[in-house]
Amino acid sequence: MTETPVLLTREGAVARLTLNRPERRNAMNNAMGDALDAALDALSRDTQTRVVILSGAGGHFCAGLDLTEVGASGATDAERLVAQQARNQRTGQRFVRLSNLPQIVIAAIQGSAHAGGLGWVCSSDFAIATADARFCAPEVRRGLVPAQILPWLVRRMGRSAAMRMTLRADVIDAAEAGRLGLVHQVVPDAAALEAAVAAIIGDIRQGAPMALAATKALIAALGPLSPDGYAEAGAQAFATCAAGPEAKEGIAAFKEKRAARWAT
């Protein structure tokens, strides 16, 4: 088992933020969430780093939320509802914090970018994917709702494409993700991914640090990510579904590699 769920390393003005649970395709559990909070705290105070590269270890980007924790038992229904609401709110806040970093954030994507992984893709400033990357918002197939990633998907892709991804909930390949605007560039393989990231870094180095940060802030100020109260309403919707019978069946079906009862 991986003991360090998030790695933060620096190479001069470039920081690498690596999701490091390869045995779970870098699915987000509570330990990873705490480590991400610490890393985002450090980066928000970092005045020397200009670029953050976000990636996943082991050939995958991020498989979303660790469903073994979402479906965990041993608490009352009321306690589960509160815990799931808090979890979903914290997840949404992390996407906001990544987007608000003063550095330029590049998502370097290989393998799976599913569910909450799409939040990391869309809250990054640039998203580059290898041709074998796969993208999916499968929440409705698990009896859940894609509450906190929806605003990011809509901002990146537009409402129509976001609706297509979240309601159909199928897996799309990198070429389709590029066509829909989910990622900015698709490259053949890992070596080409590193080259594409290096090219972006080279361009960014030509820009003045304060001017780049101010430009990011101005773009964010053009309009809110979502209406007031959406994050709380989304967390409540997620918690209600996560604590309900559909999620119990959907997560069980996922673990048992079978169709959920509503799909038969």
Q: Which residues are catalytic?
A: 139
CA–CA gap between residue 103 and residue 49 (Å, rounded): 7
Containing H/E element for 88?
helix 77-100
- Which of 147, 67, 52 minimizes the C-alpha distance to 107? 52
Q: List b or e across 44-79, with b for residues whose CB sees 16 or more CB atoms inside 10 angstroms.
A: eebeebbbbbbbbbbebbbbbbbbebbbeeeeeeee
Q: How far is CA 255 from the centre of its chain?
A: 21
Q: CB atoms < 10 A from the CB of 219, how many?
A: 11
As given in the structure block, the two tokens for residue 68 are 């073994």
Dihedral angle computed from the Cα positions of residues 20, 45, 86 and 114, in that order, rounded to the nearest 10 degrees = -40
CA–CA gap between residue 134 and residue 132 (Å, rounded): 6
